[in-house]
Amino acid sequence: MTKNKRSINITIKRLFKWYLPVIALILGMMLVYCWYLSIQIDKRFSGRRWSIPSKVYSDTTILYPGQKINRVLFNEKLWHLGYRKVTHKPEEKGELRISMSSMEIYLHDFKVPSRYKEGVPVNIRFDKDRIISIVNSITDQPMSIMELEPEEVMLFFGPKRERRLLVSIDQVPMNVIHAVLAAEDHRFYEHKGLDPRGILRAIYTDLRHGSFKQGGSTITQQLAKNYFLTPKRTLIRKLKELFMSLTIERLYKKNEILEIYLNEIYMGQNGSEAINGIGEASIFYFGKAVEELSLAEAATLGGLIRAPNYYSPYIDKSRCRKRRNVVLNAMYKQGWISDEELRTTLPLPVKTVGYAAYRKKAPYFMDYLSDQLTALYSPQDLSSLGLKIYTTLDTQVQIAAENALKKGLETLEKSNPALSRTDPQKKLQGAIIVMQPKTGYVLAMVGGRNYSVSQFNRITQARRQPGSAFKPFVYLSGLDQFTPASILSNKPVTYEIDGKEWTPKNYTPMTEECVTVRDALAKSINLATVDLAMQVGIDHIVKTARSLGFSTPMKPYPSIALGSFEVIPLELARAYCPFAADGVLPFPLTLKSVLDENGNILEQRHMTINEVMTPGKAFLISSLLQSVVEKGTASSLRDFGITYPVAAKTGTTNDYRDAWFVGYTPDILALIWVGFDDGAPIYATGSKAALPIWADLMNALPQYVAGGWFRMPQGVVRGMICSENRQTAAKDKCPHPMEEYFLADHIPEGYCPTYGHENSFKRIINGIKGFFNTF
């Protein structure tokens, strides 16, 4: 017996001598490893935890009583904003009920730079497409204006293409928290990162199947796995996961761990983009913020975590509902919901908001914007900092422009089969830009027929001859010497350019040897325009073009009067803006502001303007261009239903290589170009190829067409002249009186010898001078 005791003692001593140091070494290594892990975890969690793609937004949408809207485009806008149709009166934010004469909307909350808008239910009443009234459904008070939130139009994805809307634990309702815990780890607030019961259950299942089948992971373990480790199931990875979980639990409080988990978890797939986090999932599946989720919706999201794509309501609603009800029962078992809540929620169907696979909207606009943004931020910053980028884009205008171009080009190809080409790279092309002339805001940009075929932006990158679309700048240059009533020669003249003779011709033969300035521009008469250019001076015309922002090379040749030198379409559209903006040249704006993820303004772009002509000259050119529509090359606009005042100019280049149409009202300006990239003829003029596209576009945008015209500014006078000799005439004496506008300091000197009397304009000016001289 004594011998046995002695043997046991020797064995114990040997254990202490040999194994205790080994155990101590292992424990020490474990402590060092945990210390190393704590440094890595703290470094990762204390910095930027996720790469959040920056989001690009359109401009807001303004509605007011008396405004006409395109209800089809407006309804499409609401769908893109996540509003969902219901048959009952809207009770939750994002709900919408539509009838023939009214629309009830429960508006979303939204925040844009400098203001926050809380969503309220509104009732909009219509008379066809015109808004009669907008009423706040809570207060029953009429609203003079209503604003819809910006629309998300693009994301700057990183390599993982993850969408994530971060939420704090304080934002998350208890029903959502309880649903997640019931589904994944109901003892989360009790254990220290590891749940022995779950581990034993998992080991038993794995041994029975001979492989890793069952996960006994706590929420902390899932976070460690998803955030730091690969999903591959190995013993080494599982050990790392255990150590990380213990370390995370020592470093962070339970609510902090849960908040990180709720923002990290994978919740499904939308095409090529991953939906991550409970905040983004709330929007993707139900079209609402996490704070607004119902009990049934909370349980649905909780049930998705285990296998998001298998249980997705977009794939199998029946399977999703069964999983949701499992979670509801688990919540009831834990005492987190009442018997009544369980009983009323179990039978409910799974209702989702619906979704569209991600695609970059307005791609040519976005490419142009991206070029501007990359001068401010690196691609890595754009894909990780979660910036909010607000733009000038109006998605309704963009869709209308894309539709108009598609329809117009297809119509041209059908009317002339010679224009049809089978090679997508060589098809007939077109481009559109729509701007607000006073602000320079770019509302829409379509740089080509099909972005997936060609990313070449014909608005910003192409260089094309403008043809007669350049003529307004020639006439602008002559306003110091000529009036709208001045006479120009329409006789053929040969000019010598670099030792070569050049004889311009009119598009159609004319018998008149003389025409007025107004008629010359209205009917786009080439000979008269060149005559004006030669009298004004070609160098002066080049100087005028440069002041309007044209950057392409221009030589002082007479042919410049007919638009022989190439221009960039964006610059051409911009150069027309001062005519509609009292002589002010704006900078084309696509970017309005950039905010960081906390809502602080990083960049804010303001209008950059430069006065390049007097308001009087701008008004006169607009008046002359209105004649283009009333009696000139754009008179066919009436056939397309355009009955309100419009200033416009057509353009056609030699051999019909380019067709242009630029038209504007006080509120909107749009440029259309049609042609082949290789310069092949399209066998159509600007009035035949580009004008119908412009008309189709404007007919789709009644909200931008108020029907008004420009107010006559100071420095312009209006009076009667004789239509036969273009001299001042008395209306009561002249049988052919005609109203005309003139600059106050440049009015006709003579008066009609047959029907006139003393110059009425002179009397007006002298009377004004006499009035001021009395003071």
Average pLDDT on 632-643 reads 96
DSSP three-state, residue 386:
coil
CATH architecture classification, 162-345: Orthogonal Bundle (1.10)
Of the candidate CATH numbers 1.20.1250.20, 3.40.710.10, 3.30.70.980, 3.40.50.300, the domain formed by 400-466+566-704 belongs to 3.40.710.10
DSSP three-state, residue 110:
strand
pLDDT one-digit tens code per residue, 564-606: 999 999 999 999 999 999 999 999 999 999 999 888 888 887 7
Q: Which single residue is written with the structure tokens 């502001």?
A: 593
Q: Which superfamily does CATH assign the domain made up of 57-154 to?
A: Penicillin-binding protein 1b domain (3.30.2060.10)
The reported pTM is 0.86
CA distances, 688 to each of 25, 472, 616 (Å):
88, 20, 32
> pLDDT value at position 767?
47
pLDDT above 90: residue 713: yes
How far is Cα 606 from Cα 392, in angstroms, rounded to an integer?
12
How far is Cα 353 from Cα 67, in angstroms, rounded to an integer?
29
DSSP three-state, residue 195:
coil
Looking at residue 341, its amino acid is: E
Q: Cite the active site residues.
A: 184, 468
Q: How many CB atoms lie within 10 A of CB 682?
A: 24
The confidence band for 50, taking pLDDT boundaries of 50, 70 and 90, is confident
Average pLDDT on 9-37 reads 62
Token pair listed for 250: 């020592």
pLDDT one-digit tens code per residue, 745-767: 887 765 665 554 444 445 544 54
How far is Cα 127 from Cα 114, in angstroms, rounded to an integer?
34
How far is Cα 482 from Cα 486, in angstroms, rounded to an integer?
6
pLDDT above 60: residue 770: no
> pLDDT value at position 213?
46
Q: Which residues of 551-586 are buried (b: 16+ CB within 10 A; e: fewer)?
A: eeebeebbbbbbbbbbbbbbbbbbbbbbbbbbbbbb
Helices (H), ranges, 185-287: 196-209, 219-228, 235-251, 254-264, 278-286
pLDDT above 60: residue 221: yes
How far is Cα 175 from Cα 324, in angstroms, rounded to an integer?
13
> pLDDT value at position 771?
40
How far is Cα 278 from Cα 289, in angstroms, rounded to an integer?
10
How far is Cα 519 from Cα 475, in angstroms, rounded to an integer?
12
Higher pLDDT: 226 or 260? It is: 260
Q: Which residues of 22-61 are buried (b: 16+ CB within 10 A; e: fewer)?
A: eeeeeeeeeeeebeebbeebeeebeeeebbbbbbbbbbbb
Q: Which single residue is written with the structure tokens 């006559």?
A: 712
What residues form DSSP beta bridges with 594? 389, 603
> pLDDT value at position 501?
86
